[in-house]
Structure 1
Amino acid sequence: MVTTRKAILEDLPILLDFEQELIKAERPFDSTFKEGKISYYNIEKMIASDEVELIVAEENNEIIASGYASIFIPKSYFKFSKFAYLGFMYTKPSRRGRGINKLVVEALFNWVRSQDIDEVRLDVYDSNYGAIKAYEKVGFQRHLLKMRMTLE
């Protein structure tokens, strides 16, 4: 049985590994990453923050997935006063396809609702079809395509 819970500091080593696996999986989608080891998050700070809910999924006392929701204040032209941003969505490859991401997202949604927030956003690479499909399965809709270029 898979369960979810709030991450604790003792989870830090496995979460740091998850972060590197996530970066490894996303490197092919982003040519702007630096070479070598990089980091997306300050996971220790996220665990301690009241503005972030970092969730892990466990099966047989093994952490198999993660995700976070963070509270943001939007620009003044939006009709909502706060929104939640989801990130660090990672499931071990051997556990994918079993609805574990959905369990993590549902746990995050519960926390977001408890903060009186109803707007939730995330970013996904436009060619990461597997991630897009997973997010659409839990109700996300495509909204904005971010574009970039390098002037040489």
Structure 2
Amino acid sequence: MTEIAKVEWDPKYSVDIEEIDNFQKKMFEMFNELIDMKSTNADAKSYAGLISDINDYGKLYFSREERILKKKGYPDFDSHTKAHRQFIRSSISLRREIAEDINNLTIEAIVELRDWLIHHIETTDSLYIPFLRIHQYIDDKNKK
């Protein structure tokens, strides 16, 4: 089996919202745990449980991020939420596939899902940072 490197959270992934950064960190930890499980050939129930946890936590993470973006009137909100749904669908699909056959959980499948999240953070999420900074600046100015 191919050994795959884990990914640690790095400040370059930050979206300047501590709560969202913490969600990201937890997602990275869960993917790293899944990689560890794969390298030790854990049982099917453990895999399925962790994939379900990733799905559930992803929903929580994305819903919190979406609430923030919606509240601020982020102009690309619909497209952003569609991307989140893609991740959730992929994790649900993976959960179903491994329920049918544990051998469907490959390192490639884990990496594909994890890398989707990293790419989303680096590209799609990075687009809302300037928007939220401007709103924060305006909110701060209006408080004075």
Normalising by structure 2, we get a TM-score of 0.31
Normalising by structure 1, we get a TM-score of 0.30
Which protein has the bigger strand share?
1
The higher radius of gyration belongs to: 2
